[in-house]
Structure 1
Amino acid sequence: MTPLAQAQRQLHAHPLAADATLAAGVLLCMLAGSFVDPHGEHGVSWSLRTPYPFSLFLMTLGAIALIFRRSAPMRVLVVTGTLSVVESVTGDPRAPVAMSVVVALFTVAATTDRATTWRAGLITMTVVTGAAMLAGPLPWYAQENLGILAWTGIGATAGDAVRSRRAVVQAIRERAERAERTREEEARRRVAEERLRIARDLHDVVAHHIALVNVQAGVAAHVMDKRPDQAKEALAHVREASRSALNELRATVGLLRHSDDPEAPTEPAPGLDRLDDLAGTFRSAGLHVEVARTDHDTKLPAGVDLAAYRIIQEALTNVQKHAGPDAKAEVSVVRVGPNVEITVLDNGHQEGEEPREDGGGHGLLGMRERVTALRGTLTTGPRYGGGFRVHAILPVKTRTRTATAEDPV
């Protein structure tokens, strides 16, 4: 760090010392100016005459007042203005006490608003210049009097310019900080959305396949001794369900890899084109499933297609887990205007089973989050006479960024 930079750092750290240094410099300038005689024989010349003691006293008071210009700028302006008026009326007209007024007016303009600067500047220029013109020993048109008018105006203008520049710099800094906070908040929001999306996919995959494995393993254990062929078939279903679970987990977790990772899976996310395969896995587990589709081969956006598949998968998994061994499920996919409606019904009874009302687990919550992200609607609840109903309305054309975030990559 250079000596000049060190000195500036010390002055910023000790503002009172900086103001004292400025006051000393202003005092030296006023003393030097008191020796200038603009009325010499050959124009401006240096006079060897010593300034009047009273003028030295006024200049010293004006310089001392500038030490407190940061803490009380308006009071310092009043004090220095008063000293300048007194000098104009009673002292040596060559003594530039008005220089302290210019510095004080600059400080007021740099630390207050523009309206206050205008008022203070006009009053100061009028009083100080008027006192010098009307009560001073020099003619009213003397260049010293016009110089007071000019320098006070320059002090107010320069201070206002400094204040405006500080305001612009502060506004730029605040915008930069706000933009940085906004970027961080957006990044955190996207991370939270991605974490929620992956959690939903993992829940759907694990819950579905583990429920099937549990059912088939129970069947195998029950018939292992008496009907080994049926047990072997059940174990084959267990192996197939576990293989499917591993494949879907690999595809889901693979989305976390970098896009240029050559090992990242490229298998597309499941959709309604695999609805028959999905129903077949539940039929093999002993659940009677009927599927009816009147969507007329509608081409759905990837996010809507995935959400529809996951909703049906989760609803059938809940039927398998909660509706009892003799339950039947009906799945319908219907295109109604700009929407596609998904309905899953079952006739199971919930006596002695876990409740499936909202808030009972993550399955219904995940379905609701998927539908909400697509700006659709979801209705779930028990049916009259027994059973449960899941009804989702999904728009065919999505308008949310969240929905497209679930598209396969």
Structure 2
Amino acid sequence: MEHTSAASQRWFRRPRALLALIFLASAMGVAAIFQRGEPSPWPLPTLIGLFYAAQYLPRAWAIGGSLFASAAFFGASAAVVSEGALSPKAMLLFQVPLIVGAIGIAIGTQRDYRIAAEERALRAEESRDNDARRRVADERLRIARDLHDVIAHHMAVIKVQSSAAQHLLRSNPDAAEEALTTVVDSSRDVLEELHVMVGVLRAEPDGRDESMRPAPGLGQLDALVAQTSAAGLDVTRRDSGAARPLSPTLDLVAYRIVQEALTNAGVELTLLDYGSESFATGALVTSAHISKGLEFDAVIVPGVDAGTYATPMDKSMLYIACTRAMHELHLSHVGKPTGFLAFAEGGAR
């Protein structure tokens, strides 16, 4: 029964069905006028049908339907009364359909405005929900990146100290024990960081977790220096200039830069140029033409893209750089690599 009623309601709200309703009601009213031989002052079926149709028809169609009903009643009334078109009853039946149609149009317009406002509010709410979900996803991505930095730092410390303990285990047991203690501390710290950050990533968007800690910043430098000193490196903190407040993002970036520098502090990095008197062990940074005649265990050549190496001279420099490697050659590029890499196929990584 409800399904049939809903289908009937949808059918009666179609423009053609509503126009047919107006024509049928007008025809019934005109027939009643001619049957009685005098104007009917209140053709209620016609007015009810016109009122309903004017609410759901497009505005132009509703106005046209109202004018049609008004003209039909006016013509029928003028035909049956002796006074003709100037009869008060004829004028009344001319005006009433127009008034009823205008009221129906006004109600329909108000309803359409309300529905449109509700739809706009619904779309705005959906947009706010989507923005909230996007912000949550962005925040979780930031936390995941932060988690990667934390793990990379602690794993680097663990690797360095484990290697030191392996070499010192027989010759210097005390130093080996200290290195292993640092490994234990770093492992515990990284597990705590994992517990906190994974808990944040698993939490619901509107959840609250008291174990959530703020992102690190320069305020935690003393603890970072103490941790690195405990790992066996001599670290001294020296500040210059007046401290000023930083944004949370910049504060975190500055902290991560210092953290990475301390992590790599055990590796000696030397700039090799024409003024260098000796070739220290460790990592060397130099240009290709200076490295000619030298050999290295591993060579890293960055930026090997088509835009950087484009001329025959560039090809010669690239060949020199790549042939300096005795065991490992690592090449990196952004975009399309240079076509001069054909000689390195099968040997470069």
TM-score category of the 2 structures, normalised to the smaller one: 0.5 to 0.7
Aligned to 2:332: none
Secondary structure at the counterpart of residue 83 of structure 2: coil
Aligned to 2:218: 272
* Structure 1 residue runs without a partner (length 5+): 1-6, 20-66, 330-345, 358-409
Question: How far did 1:114 drift?
Answer: 2.9
Structure 2 CA distance for partners of 1:297 and 1:214, relative to 1, 3 Å: same
Letter in 2 for 1:228: P
Question: How far did 1:181 drift?
Answer: 1.4
CA contact (8 A) 2:81 2:87 kept: no
2:139 to 184, 187, 194: 194
- Residue by residue over 1:47-97, the C-alpha shift from the partner in whole angstroms, topping out at 9 and shown as x without a partner, is xxxxxxxxxxxxxxxxxxxx8986432244345545655765x54334759
Rounded to whole Å, the distance in 1 between the matches of 2:82 and 2:251 is: 94
- Residue by residue over 1:307-350, the C-alpha shift from the partner in whole angstroms, topping out at 9 and shown as x without a partner, is 32134435665x57xxx943379xxxxxxxxxxxxxxxx96569
2:74 to 130, 134, 138: 130
Structure 2 CA distance for partners of 1:69 and 1:146, relative to 1, 3 Å: farther
Q: Determine whether 1:326 maps to 2:268.
A: yes
Question: How far did 1:204 drift?
Answer: 1.9
- Residue by residue over 1:264-301, the C-alpha shift from the partner in whole angstroms, topping out at 9 and shown as x without a partner, is 37x76432244365356557668898977545222334
Question: How far did 1:222 drift?
Answer: 2.5
Structure 2 CA distance for partners of 1:294 and 1:115, relative to 1, 3 Å: farther
- Residue by residue over 1:12-67, the C-alpha shift from the partner in whole angstroms, topping out at 9 and shown as x without a partner, is 32417x99xxxxxxxxxxxxxxxxxxxxxxxxxxxxxxxxxxxxxxxxxxxxxxx8
Question: How far did 1:207 drift?
Answer: 1.3
CA contact (8 A) 2:77 2:89 kept: no
Identity %: 32
1:217 to 141, 159, 162: 162
Q: Give the structure with the higher percent strand.
A: 1
Rounded to whole Å, the distance in 2 between the matches of 1:68 and 1:280 is: 78
Letter in 2 for 1:111: Y
TM-score w.r.t. length of structure 2: 0.60
Aligned to 1:12: 5
Structure 2 CA distance for partners of 1:156 and 1:296, relative to 1, 3 Å: same
CA contact (8 A) 1:81 1:98 kept: no
Aligned to 1:110: 55
TM-score w.r.t. length of structure 1: 0.53
Secondary structure at the counterpart of residue 216 of structure 1: helix
Secondary structure at the counterpart of residue 299 of structure 1: coil
Aligned to 1:170: 115
CA contact (8 A) 1:77 1:105 kept: yes
Rounded to whole Å, the distance in 2 between the matches of 1:74 and 1:112 is: 8
2:104 to 140, 159, 172: 159
CA contact (8 A) 1:129 1:148 kept: yes
Aligned to 2:251: 305
Aligned to 1:93: 37
Secondary structure at the counterpart of residue 224 of structure 1: helix
Rounded to whole Å, the distance in 1 between the matches of 2:208 and 2:29 is: 75
Letter in 2 for 1:134: A
Rounded to whole Å, the distance in 2 between the matches of 1:204 and 1:280 is: 19
Letter in 2 for 1:300: L
Rounded to whole Å, the distance in 1 between the matches of 2:82 and 2:162 is: 114
CA contact (8 A) 2:216 2:255 kept: yes
1:242 to 173, 181, 187: 187
Aligned to 1:56: none
Question: How far did 1:216 drift?
Answer: 0.7
CA RMSD of aligned residues (A): 4.4
Matched residue pairs, number?
277
Q: Determine whether 1:226 maps to 2:226.
A: no
Letter in 2 for 1:327: L
Aligned to 2:150: 205
CA contact (8 A) 1:204 1:313 kept: no
Rounded to whole Å, the distance in 2 between the matches of 1:69 and 1:240 is: 76
